[in-house]
Amino acid sequence: MAQLKILNLNQKQEIVNKLKKQFGIKDIEGIFVKRGEERLFLFQGDFTPRQIYNLERTVPIERVGVYFGKIQNEKIRLSIEGVHILKNQITKNIFELEEKQAELWMKGNELEIQTGKNDFLIMKYKGDFLGCGKASELKIGNYVPKNRR
């Protein structure tokens, strides 16, 4: 198992800057933790980074905090939890679904829609945020895990 890596303030700011560019996010409270090269977790508890490291030396820790997103090709793909944590700050790259599209999305289907974008989009139906998809030339790819469909 890859060791946890707690991101320093500069590394955290780099992630926040990417999220600002992608989704309009301004600030995120908490500690960012990486597992491996891609998976990001957000910890908003009372432990300090030193306490987390000390705990990991004593007991194997699979994760700290909430799975927040994944770094893919220098961009951030937010998890469903990441979208919900930040929903009040998201102002960019929101794709409003129609009812039939939302139904297909929640069943795990890709959407055959040309958005004119090649980026991650936040999927939204009425007032509900449904996660993050990847728009390409001809479709929006779906990342809803099978166990959540």
Q: Residue ranges of the domains in the chain?
A: 1-91, 93-142
Q: What is the DSSP letter of 83?
A: H
pLDDT at 124 over 80: yes
Task: Give the residue among 138, 61, 139, 72 at the shortest CA–CA distance from 104.
Answer: 139
Beta strands in 12-142 (DSSP E): 31-35, 39-43, 66-72, 75-78, 94-96, 120-125, 128-135, 140-142
State the average pLDDT over residues 48-66.
Answer: 85
130 pLDDT band (50/70/90 cuts)? very high
Q: What is the pLDDT of residues 92-117, one digit of tens each?
A: 999 999 999 999 999 999 999 999 89
Which residues, at least 6 apart from 79, have a Cβ–Cβ distance to it below 8 Å? 66, 67, 68, 69, 70, 131, 132
With H, G, I as helix, E, B as strand and everything else as coil, classify residue 105. Answer: helix
The pLDDT of residue 1:
57
CA distance 115 to 90: 18
Structure tokens of 37? 């090269």
Q: What is the DSSP letter of 148?
A: G
> Would 1-91 and 93-142 be classified into the same CATH topology?
no
The domain 93-142 having CATH identifier 2.30.30: the answer here is no
State the average pLDDT over residues 42-50.
Answer: 92
Beta strands in 24-92 (DSSP E): 31-35, 39-43, 66-72, 75-78
Angle at 14 between CA 79 and CA 40, to 5 degrees: 30
Who has greater pLDDT, 3 or 140? Answer: 140
**pLDDT > 90: percent of the chain:** 76
The domain 1-91 having CATH identifier 3.10.450: the answer here is yes
